């Protein structure tokens, strides 16, 4: 009897980290491509739309870093970022996948920007 192994792949994204670092896209284009409905809901429910709309800082730095750090992140968004980050590794290390807290905060702040701009309804 053989155990079946399931493989999951993250949805496609337009720009990887290497392309972003080579200035082939803007910061907003890079980060917003990783925002899914899950991140939008998380930011809306935990940070709150009132705090987002009241923010006067374009980078939401008037909302404490502790608040952003406390957000839970996973699913497709995190998988896509890990895949994107692999583009920066040496060829023999590109099978590795990693994300950081700063990746999470960047993606969550992108979700906040989208909510504030009313680009997306959740």
Residue 30 pLDDT exceeds 80: yes
* Burial 13-31, CB ≥16 within 10 A → b, else e: bebbbeebeeeeeeeeebb
Mapped onto helix, strand or coil, the DSSP state of residue 104 is: helix
Residue whose structure tokens are 């905060």: 105
Average pLDDT over residues 65-83: 95
pLDDT of 50: 95
Residue 36 pLDDT exceeds 50: yes
Q: Name 100's Cβ contacts closer than 8 Å, sequence gap at least 6.
A: none
Specify the pTM: 0.83
Mapped onto helix, strand or coil, the DSSP state of residue 117 is: coil
Residue 28 pLDDT exceeds 50: yes
Residue 85 pLDDT exceeds 80: yes
The alpha carbon torsion through 20, 21, 27, 32 (nearest 10 deg) reads: 40
């Amino acid at each position: 009897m053989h155990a079946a192994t399931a493989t999951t792949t993250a949805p496609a994204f337009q720009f990887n980290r290497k392309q972003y670092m080579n200035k082939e896209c803007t910061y907003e284009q890079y980060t917003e491509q990783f925002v899914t409905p899950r991140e939008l809901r998380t930011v809306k429910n935990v940070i709150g739309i009132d705090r987002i709309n009241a923010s006067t800082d374009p980078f939401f730095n008037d909302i404490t870093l502790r608040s952003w750090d406390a957000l839970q992140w996973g699913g497709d968004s995190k998988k896509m970022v890990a895949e994107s980050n692999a583009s920066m590794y040496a060829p023999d290390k590109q099978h590795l996948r990693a994300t950081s807290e700063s990746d999470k905060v960047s993606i969550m702040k992108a979700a906040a920007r989208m909510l504030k701009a009313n680009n997306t309804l959740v």
